[in-house]
Structure 1
């Protein structure tokens, strides 16, 4: 049979109360019986003393008849007194309220004598407890006997009526025997009252504990069990309404938080299942992008080694051609009809020299010479350098700098070269009046600084976006070498950063350079995060 929690608690508490209160009641009854026994001994001792004092004068006058009458009257006035008897020092019962005992000799081993005659010599003085005894009389009743010695005082051994020797210490014993029925009756009544009160108290406490347990423990536990069944059945909208401000209340709140988290997890799993294909596609594109970057890096490294050798081999004869062609073109003996051809040779040779220089810049794996530099200052220096060119005369440059960007460890010359390439590309893409918007900022979460250059030029077709950082790829119709963006890509990558590009044909293009910033420096100047750089050109 399965017992409920309430039944188990009630049963356990009731058994504990029964055991503890039963032990308390037993000890209490025993103590009461002991106190009543001591009180009975005290009463018997006082009664003996009263009888001895009352009959003392009659004994001195040798009026034994009157003394014995007093003893009989005292014995007859109390129902609790069984008998009173006087025993002389020889053990002779001189008088007893039970006339059958008169003239009998008591053995020293009798109950009335054994407490004083148990040793080798009789005791002259003993406490009332040592002079008392409990025994069962002939009628089967339990009685209390108290023997009190009658001492030989000076008035006794000097009295003329009956002379007692002075050396005698004890003349006899007054033995009082009282019934213990009244004491037992009181003990029985008290014990019954204790039992009734104990049972009533146990019942009342059990009811109170049952009520409190039902209200404070059983109900919340049942509510949480029901809630667990609902969760097991898939109902994650269920909540536990337990208002207790204790451990059970905290447990209920934990159940509700757990249910909320389970529901959130299930919704996420459902969304994940619904959007699994999209997420897989996104991850695939990211992997392809990373692979493309790796391939691009390997391609740049291979091409760098190749073009470095080619550039060195071409550069020497090209320099000779340029020098001698310039000398001949400046010679006055030259036929004027040939001067145009020589000028063309010099111009194309210079163009080849520029291409070779670009190849060397692309192939040169020089480490950035980093020093503390301000990104905004590098951008201003770049604008000062190139804004005087003719292509920038009809272009409006809008600067949106974040003044809180900290100084970073950069190679200002290399970063300036990157900005020159990007700004010149933006200018060529506009090809006339237009606008270039420059925005700088910091992303504290990523620990990166960015510089975004946006133009409203012709844009880049989508099929060319993956090729623009390849060496020798250009969209300028034989006006460019196709090395500017490749060199810029290598410089930013050498600084631990990256270049992102977004472009729409006939709308414009945005190049964003991301550079890492020291965490400590960014923390010192941390402010509210800037809005992200523009994703689409204005």
Structure 2
């Protein structure tokens, strides 16, 4: 089974969530542990000071039994493991545990390590060094607090048990409390923190899984299914667009792509059909060309010998229609026999001038005003001059046929353009005629398509498109019904090009 995007996302989110929540839970438990430890330590210090202060009066009176009773009563509190009072020789002189009284602790004992490890006097110990955490024989953690019993002036002057004034410390009070409850609370807090983290990870994962399934999974599967159906040939299938985010845009683009594919397939089908029709038409044209020539020759001969008007009228009709058929046949043959262009270095302005000279008389007869704007700095470029002249003539003739009534104008312009970093020469043929409808615009370059009743063969623009394409150029149409049409032809230059003589204007 192939891994799905959702599974990968969920694994990634789970790992990140585990790291974040796990770290947060660990940090929280550590902070809680430090807080509890600090609280217990503070309470132990207070307890130790309380014991010292509680026994101070009895010690000053040398009431040993009273000191023992006080320590014994305090030692009965829950969580208080040991209370020991050491003299300066390390001998236990007071303790609730009678077995400990009279024992001596070694200087390397954990209770003595704070002072004897570096020679620091117990009277000089900071509050932090008075405490230590260690494990008892049973494995439980315990907190020990040592509190020095100072040699106060009243002790040095007491007659009952006076101590030398130079002795700073008379002994040490060592209080040991259990940390079992603290450890239990820390463990419970840690379990709660990690349980909360696990619940958070689970909730986030479920929420993300639900949202991912709804917002990503279903739309992606719909697109995947649509893609498979289109791949199977169902180009009419569309994806419902119900959102406006990136996936909605993707669905819209998919539908547009499918539409374009359907149109492209239709165009390929039409092109193949037209190619077949073209080959058939070319074959038929070739076969009927000779009979048409014979009909035209004999009808023209009879027309010269005809005497009565009715016969002459009939023969003129035959000659006219035969010539029209001959023109169609020649167009078919020319279209079917298109050959690669024979390129030489040519001057576009000169080609335009020759084409204009050919149609000049026709434009005058049709009362069409011609405006030309030819760029003077056009370079020479490789092209077939005869074929380009044919393109320009076809565009001019089409423009001349685009008028109905009113002001008639044709504009011809040449220029040098840069298209996608490539230098190109450009020619525009524009008119202010009737324009081309959107319905007809999609078919103007198809062979045999024409809107001229009883005029033209419908091959002119198809021939133009073929010639321009063979030259590596493009032909574009901009039109508006009732406003006119502009044909723009762009032809690429070679990198090495020479400037031509100034063009006409």
CA–CA distance in structure 2, aligned partners of residues 153 and 284 of structure 1: 137
- Who is 2:173 aligned against? 174
Hey, what does 2:378 align to over in structure 1?
Answer: none
Q: Structure 1 residues 284 and 147, CA, compared in 2 at 3 Å: closer, same or farther?
A: farther
Q: CA–CA distance in 2 between the matches of 1:89 and 1:19?
A: 53
Q: Secondary structure at the match of 1:124?
A: helix
Question: Relative to structure 1, is the Cα distance of residues 449 and 200 closer, same or farther in structure 2, using a 3 angstrom cutoff?
Answer: closer
Aligned to 1:124: 123
Partner of 1:23: 23
> Is residue 372–residue 411 contact of structure 2 (8 Å, CA) maintained in 1?
no
Distance in structure 1 (CA, Å) of the matches to 2:141 and 2:189? 19
Would you say the 8 A contact 1:231–1:238 is kept in 2?
yes
What secondary structure does 2:146 align onto?
strand
Do structure 1's residue 229 and structure 2's residue 210 form an aligned pair? no
Matched ranges for 1:330-409 at <5 A: 400=367, 402=369, 405=371
SS at match of 2:193: helix
Contact 1:405 1:449 in 2 (8 A): no
**Partner SS, residue 175 of structure 1:** strand
Task: Report the Cα distance in structure 1 between the residues aligned to 2:27 and 2:374, rounded to whole angstroms.
Answer: 88
1:441 aligns with 2:446: no
Partner-residue secondary structure (3-state), 1:130:
helix
Aligned residues of 1:236 and 1:260 also touching (Cα < 8 A):
yes
Give 2:484's aligned residue. 529
1:161 is matched with 160
Asked if 1:194 corresponds to 2:193, the answer is: yes
TM-score, normalised with respect to structure 2: 0.58
Query: C-alpha separation between the residues in 2 aligned to 1:407 and 1:109?
Result: 110
Alpha-carbon separation, structure 1, partners of 2:406 and 2:204: 83
* Structure 2 Cα separation of the partners of residues 188 and 245 of structure 1: 50
Q: Secondary structure at the residue paired with 1:111?
A: coil
Q: 1: CA distance between counterparts of 2:154 and 2:22?
A: 57
CA drift at 1:266: 0.4
- Which structure has the greater CA radius of gyration? 1
- By relative contact order (CA 8 Å, sep 6+), the higher-ranking structure is 2
Task: Structure 2: state its 5+ residue gaps.
Answer: 283-327, 338-349, 354-359, 376-404, 414-426, 432-453, 457-481, 488-505
Query: How many Å apart are 1:273 and its aligned residue?
Result: 1.7
Q: Map residues 482-501 of structure 1 onto 2, 5 A cutoff.
A: none
Q: Identify unmatched segments of 5+ residues in structure 1.
A: 293-366, 371-377, 384-397, 410-436, 451-501, 505-526, 533-538
Could you tell me whether the CA contact under 8 Å between 2:368 and 2:410 is conserved in 1?
A: no
* Equivalent in the alignment of 1:8: 8
Tell me if structure 2 keeps the 8 A contact 1:112–1:147.
yes
How many Å separate the matches in 2 of 1:290 and 1:17?
A: 71
Contact 2:372 2:412 in 1 (8 A): no
Give the equivalent residue in structure 2 for 1:146. 145
Shift of 1:166: 1.6
Q: Give the TM-score of the pair, scaled to structure 1.
A: 0.55
Question: Residue 126 of structure 1: CA displacement?
Answer: 1.9
Using the TM superposition, give the Cα deviation of residue 230 of structure 1 relative to its aligned residue in structure 2, in angstroms.
0.6
Q: In the TM superposition, what is the alpha-carbon distance from 1:438 to its structure 2 partner?
A: 11
- C-alpha contact 1:442 1:529 (8 A) present in aligned 2: no
How many pairs align? 339
Q: How many Å apart are 1:179 and its aligned residue?
A: 0.9
**Residue 241 of structure 2 corresponds to residue 260 of structure 1:** no
Q: How far does residue 405 in structure 1 lie from its aligned partner after superposition? A: 4.2
Counterpart-to-counterpart distance in 2, 1:179 and 1:245: 65
Q: Deviations over 1:283-327 (max 9, x none)?
A: 9955855999xxxxxxxxxxxxxxxxxxxxxxxxxxxxxxxxxxx
The superposition leaves residues 119-177 of structure 1 with CA deviations (integer Å, 9 ceiling, x where unpaired) of 24545322333222223334443322111111223333233432122211111110001
- Mean alpha-carbon deviation: is it higher for 17-26 or for 87-96? 17-26
CA distance, structure 1, for counterparts of residue 198 and residue 126 of structure 2 = 41
| 1:143 to 1:128, Cα distance in 2 relative to 1, 3 A | same
Q: Which residue of 2 aligns with 1:244?
A: 243
* Matching of residues 23-42 of structure 1 within 5 Å: 23-42=23-42
In structure 2, relative to structure 1, the CA distance for the partners of 1:266 and 1:168 (3 Å cut) is same
CA 1:284 to 1:73, structure 2 compared with 1: closer, same or farther past 3 Å?
Answer: farther
Distance 2:59 2:265 in 1: 111
The answer to whether the Cα contact below 8 Å between 1:87 and 1:173 also exists between their aligned partners in 2 is: yes
How far is 1:244 from its partner? 3.4
CA distance in 1, matches of 2:486, 2:11: 69
Post-superposition Cα deviations, 1:236-256, rounded to whole Å, max 9, x if no partner, equal 111122433322222222211
Q: Displacement, 1:192? A: 2.1
Alpha-carbon shift at residue 406 of structure 1 (Å): 6.2
Greater mean deviation of Cα atoms: 134-143 or 267-276: 134-143
- What's the CA shift string for 1:408-439, capped at 9, x where partnerless? 89xxxxxxxxxxxxxxxxxxxxxxxxxxx998
CA distance in 1, matches of 2:244, 2:195: 38
